[in-house]
Structure 1
Amino acid sequence: MPVATSFRDRLARLRVDLTPWRASRDFRILVISGTVFYLGGMVGYVALPFQLYQLTESNFAVGAMGLVTIAPLVIFGLYGGALADHVDRRKMLVITGVAQILICAVLLGNTRLADPQIWIIYVSGALNAIASSLQRPSREALFPRVVRHEQMPAAVTISSLTMQIGQLAGPAMGGVLVGTVGVTWAFSVELIGLVVATLLYLRLGSYKTREHSTPPSLRAIGEGIGYAFRRRDLLGTYAVDMVGMFLAMPIVLFPAFATEVLKEPKLLGLLYSAEAIGAMLATLTSGWARRVHHHGRAVVLATITWGASVGIAGLAPNIWFAIAFFAVAGGADMISGLFRAVIWNQTIPDEMRGRLAGIEMLSYSLGPLGGQTRSGLVADLTSVRTSIVSGGVLCVAGVVATAIWLRDFWGYDARTDEHAVRERELRTTAG
């Protein structure tokens, strides 16, 4: 009996902690609306490039959408962070949600034309990148306001789980829709998701910033960037993630890896799903995370595991070996993301949270974009295997070097860190 009880206790420690879900109404609204929003968005994520390729039969035309969205992501991600520190964050979610509804309606209307216009797709893609970049910092900045300080690891885990559901279900749904009933239905599903999510945002409480908060400006953005660079623990969260993603991002090589190296083109979809499956398994067994206090160390070790797993997958003798190690990589990446988010949400002052959320968005967006370019270039100069394996090796070496450089990040302890202690005391005093 004691052995059985001990085994049940160990399993219980692995389960996702649902305390924030039970304790906070607004947290539930944020999670549900975010799930609906993300699910619909991923359907559109499949439909838009599919329609572009149908109209142009050009891979470059599809890839050019990424070029169109980079500048809005950088400019409005930073500006959206400054806005989030000055205005009511609920209003920002609603206004940008309405903007995305209108943009999606334009894309839907374009599909109904006898001759759909390509320029409308590009303009809509750029406008949607602007709206998303303005919205995300406000949403991220709300999470520390709707849950207790000690509940942040559990809150981040629950939020991550819903995103992973969207990553798995959204593209699958989008693929079925565009392949059977067409892009019009896919954009219709996305539109419904945007409307439902925005109506849910209306039910949130009002979360105004300080009365004398800094108006959005270049100075305000500069203050946020300066704050991030002065704090070496925050700098570590950005640097480690960007090093890991830039050096070991293999996704662009999956078609060639499955077709030319592993000779299994029919199983290509499993390569794309492997990381999401690994991330979901890691999330569902992440109850242990609430007992970890050295969050910087956890980020470093998880990112090293990510790089090592990608490198080993590149040596795979068959596709199942590769899928298994890409799943391990996905789980490690999820754990790294979990502890990075906990550091952000437990230590950044509320008056800076929006601007720092904008910087965070750039750090985990630009790293993968650069990593895809690096992987493709190295593969063309050498081989697909060499690109994947060398990326994994360089990632491990780069993360170790970064951890040595930023020793404060490696030694970060949530129980004693001055910023975490201050925020814990402030939130306790505030109720």
Structure 2
Amino acid sequence: MRCAPTAGAALVLCAATAGLLSAQGSPEPAEPPPRFASWDEVNVLAHGLLQLGNGLREHVERTRGQLGALERRLGACGAACEERAASAAPPHGPLSPVSRGEAAPETLRNLQSQLKAQNSRIELLFQKVAQQQRHLEKQHLRIQNLQSQVGLLAPMQVGHRMAKPARRKRLPKMSQLVGPVHNTSHLKRLPRDCQELFEEGERQSGLFQIQPQGSLPFLVNCKMTPDGGWTIIQRRQDGSVDFNQPWEAYKDGFGDPQGEFWLGLEKVHLILGDRDSHLAVQLQDWEGNAESLQFPVRLGGEDTAYSLQLTAPVANKLGATTVTPSGLSLPFSTWDQDHDLRRDKNCAKSLSGGWWFGSCSHSNLNGQYFRSIPRQRQQRKKGIFWKTWRGRYYPLQATTMLIQPTVAEAAS
């Protein structure tokens, strides 16, 4: 469009309106290939389009008001515009009475006709914006309706499983086994644990199926020794598995049974039941030195936070502050379920991993794995340590934990 010369405000308004109309008439860019949008993207897009529609409508209404005001001012100009046009004539060429009387009104009529044309186009644009806004409002209502329907369906889905705390990633599970399982072809009753398998004559260590009383069958790593069969419940050796896991992971188990793994508190409880048992702890440092510890234990169920019932000497080594003649029960703690004996600190969160923390400074075989000893002391205490052997600030290279019911009870 072209604009006739007039006052400065009219020129600016004319240019702005021409830009708006030219943008309206420009060809639309090619649409990108369709893709599925996320729920959040749909909400953001709908909200943004609603805001854009409201903004365009306000801009059009404001522009219409300005054009109307300018048109009223031009209409009221009348004789004043005619006198200004006469005074602006060139000094060397006096205008005839006819040209002097008709020049200004003609210019005014041209400008008014152009403004009316712009006003009609803006009116058409306003109608289109209003139509688009009504469409967007309907889409927004549909989105809200879908959201409410999804909100009603969510509790039904939650009802099919236990409510669990929200987490950013899926909990690790015990990986699928690729090695041989030695007793999968047995048609007779499965053994209760590795010790019962030993009593049936098995002398080869490896992966076996067991079935504790009241449990479904599951696979365990058995270590056969001259004095019986031991079930391996934990192994650290290379840092290939992250042991800084929440409560549910420690309850169910995670890792690779042929490498680093944690069998699972519930499985350990099913194996031991209410029987007196032994817990063996095998430690190795970075110089090749090894240490083996063994002590009697009992393990409670989840209602006790899988508490270890320990005798007084062992409880002292694990950081018990008060020990009765009958020993002490140490509950298991993770960063999301704090059961340790420290009231002022969450040991699992302060250090790393889950463990039977008496305090934060005596042992933690599920701490962070370091492939070399850190220089900073504050970092070293987050590692795998057993204070009564190499000290709190020495991160161990490898650990193995094994359980076996008391042989006398197992044989009965």
Fold shared per TM-score above 0.5: no
**RCO higher in 1 or 2 (8 Å CA, sep ≥ 6)?**
1
Scaled by the length of structure 2, the TM-score of the pair is 0.22
Scaled by the length of structure 1, the TM-score of the pair is 0.21
For the pair shown, the structure with the greater C-alpha radius of gyration is 2
